[in-house]
Structure 1
Amino acid sequence: MSSEYLERASRLPGAVVWTKAALRRGGATETGPVLPDGCMDLLWTEGRLLVAGPDTRAFRPGPGLHGPWAGVRFRPGAAPALLGVPAHELLDRRVELADLRPAAEVRRLTERLDAAPDPAAALESLALRLAADAPPEDALIRAVAASLRAGRSVAVTAATVGLGARQLHRRSLDAFGYGPKTLARILRMQRALALARTGVPLADTAARTGYADQAHLARDVRQLAGMPATALLRP
């Protein structure tokens, strides 16, 4: 992980607070892509509050997104209730928070964060206030995410939570942005990359994380991340 990126556990259950230094223009070292992880983020950069929707492909910051950044990454399925918007409406998108909440409110919040000595802490406080005002987190959605994260199949997960395939798909679109099969693929890729980063060979990683073989792992990572697993694992 780049020394310019730092994260810590949030006071909001299951969430992570992170910061990233500004990209240096000109001779800067290019940062790696943001990989799909099943999550949504509340983002601050000077003068702007944004929401990162769930990704199905790697995201690379474009013009105007150089940072510095602070973010709160919500656990899968948690953000839609806080933001009042189904996850599938934000799929593969970065949108202004003012598109989802009253513009005057967002303007005041942005000014407050811009002036804060620790924008990440201020952003976390905002996320906590949103959570306090939101409906309780759906225990069924939490159970679905936990089951898929543990590597259980979609069929087993549906049976465990007592939903049919169509019901599970519909609930997943609202909570995660995509169906349970896509979420399972993304979470499996994240498990595999985390294991491989500990030094486990890719063939063993594939076997231990539910892939048919190393070639299957390689195809999935390339499709979701847009680059080979070996490139992602390079120091």
Structure 2
Amino acid sequence: MYAERPSRLAGAVVWTNAPSGSPARPVLPDGCMDLLWHEGRLLVAGPDTRAYAVDGVPGRWAGVRFFPGTAPTLLGVPAHELRDRRVDLADLWPARRARSLTARVAAAAGPARGVEEAALALAADSGPADPLAARIVAALQAGRSVAATADGLGVGARRLHRRSLAAFGYGPKTLARVLRLQRALALARGGTPLAETAALAGFADQAHLTRDIRRLTGLPPRELLGPAVHGTTGGGPRG
């Protein structure tokens, strides 16, 4: 069973997932990165460009899903190096530092609290996230084009692309598609008909929405929005 709640870390979400006997739900692209706890290990889930299947990874999970663009500063790793990957924290950090944070999570009153405290500690020890990242997200979430976003932020297209790769793991055009997908899923899961969802989310028409959903998730809309797929816009568990 999957559950989530807002984190004490601004913009982040704490989630847990335990085996329930139901079919495993794919993790959908959402522009986010996660710090994961599973069977005594700390891992990092990089930004996804496609649905990630979690089949064959049993056991209980806990995680913190960071707001898009914030995790690279906390972890000290550019997002594009982790794109479409799940990596042990020990493979990214010096062994002693990774062991220290892992021990901190293990000693906490439950994995969810432990991984949240670890995220808060990372935030306290690191500098502020790239301020441009949040402005990029806000512009693209509002449905602005990549060109309009660059103009509005006063940056050139190449600089926007470089900063996006480091903060989100992919360029602004892909990030815009991912954020648009999440807008559409939120509308559709709230009961908005697909044709209206397509218009409100910024697609040319319903056929455009259907094509983009298939490209990013590998599933048709009707199957994606069925009961076997997690219903939040946050992307679900990241194991």
Q: Does the 8 Å contact 1:49/1:110 carry over to 2?
A: yes
- Give 1:46 deviation, angstroms: 1.6
Aligned: 1:116 with 2:108: yes
Cα separation, 2, equivalents of 1:77 and 1:209: 22
Unaligned runs of 5+ in 1: none
The one-character-per-residue Cα deviations of 1:149-205 (angstroms, maximum 9, x if unpaired) are: 121111111111111111101110011000000000000000001000111100110
Any idea what SS the aligned residue of 2:77 has?
coil
Counting only pairs closer than 5 Å after superposition, residues 208-223 of structure 1 correspond to structure 2 as 208-223=200-215
Separation of aligned partners in 1, 2:70 and 2:100 = 24
The whole-number CA distance in structure 1 between the counterparts of 2:108 and 2:74 is: 22
Cα distance change on mapping 1:75 and 1:163 into 2, 3 Å: same
Secondary structure in 1 aligned to 2:144? coil
Give yes or no for contact 1:53–1:92 (8 Å, CA) kept in 2: yes
* Contact 2:105/2:117, CA 8 A, preserved across alignment: no
Give per-residue Cα distances to partners, 1:9-57, cap 9 Å, x unaligned: 1111111110101x36xxx321210000000000001221000000000
The structure 1 segments of at least 4 consecutive aligned residues displaced by more than 3 Å after TM superposition are none
| 1:5 maps onto 2:5 in alignment | no
Look up the match of 1:163.
155
C-alpha deviations, 1:85-123, integer Å up to 9, x for none?
Answer: 110000100000011112133224324423433211111
Determine the structure 2 residue equivalent to 1:200.
192
Q: Aligned partners of 1:149, 1:67: CA distance in 2, in Å?
A: 34
Listed as ranges, the matches of 1:9-88 within 5 Å are 9-21=6-18, 23=19, 28-63=21-56, 65-88=57-80
Aligned residues: 227
Correspondence for 2:89 among 90, 97, 122: 97
**In structure 1, what is the Cα distance between the partners aligned to 2:111 and 2:176?**
33
State the alpha-carbon separation in 2 of the partners of residues 111 and 204 from structure 1: 49
Give 1:62 shift.
4.4
Higher relative contact order (CA 8 A, sep 6+): 2
Do 1:38 and 1:183's aligned partners in 2 also have CA atoms closer than 8 Å? Answer: yes
CA contact (8 A) 2:104 2:118 kept: no
> TM-score scaled to structure 2, two decimals?
0.91
Query: How far apart in 2 are the matches of 1:51 and 1:226?
Result: 23
Asked if 1:185 is matched to 2:143, the reply is no
Percent identity between the two aligned chains = 66
Structure 2 gaps, min length 5: 228-239
